[in-house]
Amino acid sequence: MATVDHNRGIGKTSVIVVIVPFPLHSHSNQLLQLSVLISSYNIPVHYAGSAFHNSQVRARASNALNFSEIHFHDFPIPPFIQDPTKIPTEKLFLPYFHAVKQLREPVVDLLHDLSTKAEGIIVIHDSMTSSAVRDVSSIKNAESYIFRAITAFSIFCFVSLNLGNKFLQIPKEAEIVNSDNPIEIPSTEGDFSVETANFIAHQKQFMKSSAGDLYNGCRLIDGVFLDHLVKIQKNNQKVWSVGPLHQYAKTENGIGNSINGRDKCLEWLDKQEPDSVLYISFGTTIYMADHDRQLKELATGLELSETKFIWVFRSDADYDKKEEILPQGFEERVKGVGMVVRDWAPQLEILDHPSTGGFLSHCGWNSTLESISYGVPVAAWPIAVDQPMNALFITEVLKTGVNIKEWARRDQVVSSSEISKAVRRLMGSEEGDKLRKRAKELGAKVRSATDDGGVSRLECDSFIAHITR
């Protein structure tokens, strides 16, 4: 068994790790963070994907990530035939599914080549790229591990629904929970398109040969659900919860999202009072129902709330037409109170800033985990996939957020008055202050998980020891 020293590495190793990400940025970025973490143990890491998507994840990566030691394999995968800018909402993920289908051949060629250069090949793949690594079992010195880009709690909810359970009884071992009442699991109706559901089902048939699961989570917040998930599935699968992955970059190199000097958002935040600013972002893609109308209501609601805000405004519309979506004169009226950002924003640094007191979020797992670790309460606005489960986790389990749009109303437009009321509830009430206090206390615990001797650091050490056994 190799001796693990994450500061000095494990010395000479005969193991090579191959990472196969799902090309959606919210997934691939997590695996890039994991690649950097594993390489810090002096283990060669190869990151294999399409040339286009690999270039995207590198360009969007935090400056704190030192991926100079990562071996990137940029496969020239043919582009999806349909113009990505004209793909309807229900077909949004088709280009990513296409890329995964094209990965199988170049990945197996890479694995065969690397298998002659090391005693062991460890393949870590996104659960959504299981079909691309199906040939691992044919290589004698290779084994595969599934990376879960969503929380164990969300998977626990999906499994419970499949077993016919509409309500979730929170295990009493979860000390962070202060409720004895079962909570209703959000329905998956309308959550996945037919194409997405079929793709996920196709991937599941290739997961059975996996040697274990890795989670970008933290046992301090969802360890109970991870343990119960293992019991429900009855497969004795080895599991490691090694996150929050973004925290390793922070503890070792600083956050470092800004590219050229101090970002304009951070300069503006420097001038604001502590906990006074609401940060708003719906991730890298917006596909909310009644898109233009809902964005107008959101803008009006923010203006009515009189709350300071930074809004990362991305739209499916052409860039030159973005101004037309917002109410006329909106940006002029909120000048000094709010900031609308139309390009990339340093989310980690914004959430870590003392002036940020709330996060209006779609509740993607990256954003959810970042809000937890930086101690920022959430106004939850789930849109699709695992986001309704993440919103439930924040509002009903961790008790560090409020609903601004409940999943049951997913097909309705939230009015500006409702938005204003929810924002004030989070940012300007005694209840909001209590949520902030709870979020900060939980965030401090989660941040310590990746320190030396922390629960997530020990999980990572355990995984490294396992694959170098």
27 catalytic? Reply is yes
Distance CA 13, CA 433 (A): 50
Return the SS3 of 41.
coil
Residue 347 C-alpha from the chain's centroid? 12
Catalytic residue selected from 53, 125, 126, 222: 126
Provide the angle, in degrees to the nearest 10, between the axes of the packed helices 245-253 and 25-39: 50
Query: Is residue 433 annotated as a catalytic residue, yes or no?
Result: no
**Which residues, 6+ apart, have CB-to-CB distance to 13 below 8 Å?**
2, 42, 43, 44, 468
Give the separation between CA 469 and CA 464, rounded to whole angstroms.
8
Q: Which tokens is 34 given?
A: 């994991």
Rounded Cα distance, 423 and 417, in Å: 10
Say how far residue 292 (Cα) sits from the centre of its chain.
25
Tell me the C-alpha distance between 469 and 462, whole Å: 10
63 close to 38: Cβ distance less than 8 angstroms: no
One of 25, 27, 73, 125 is an active-site residue; which one?
Answer: 27
Question: What SS3 class is residue 317?
Answer: coil
Give residue for tokens 């964005």: 295
The set of catalytic residues is 27, 126
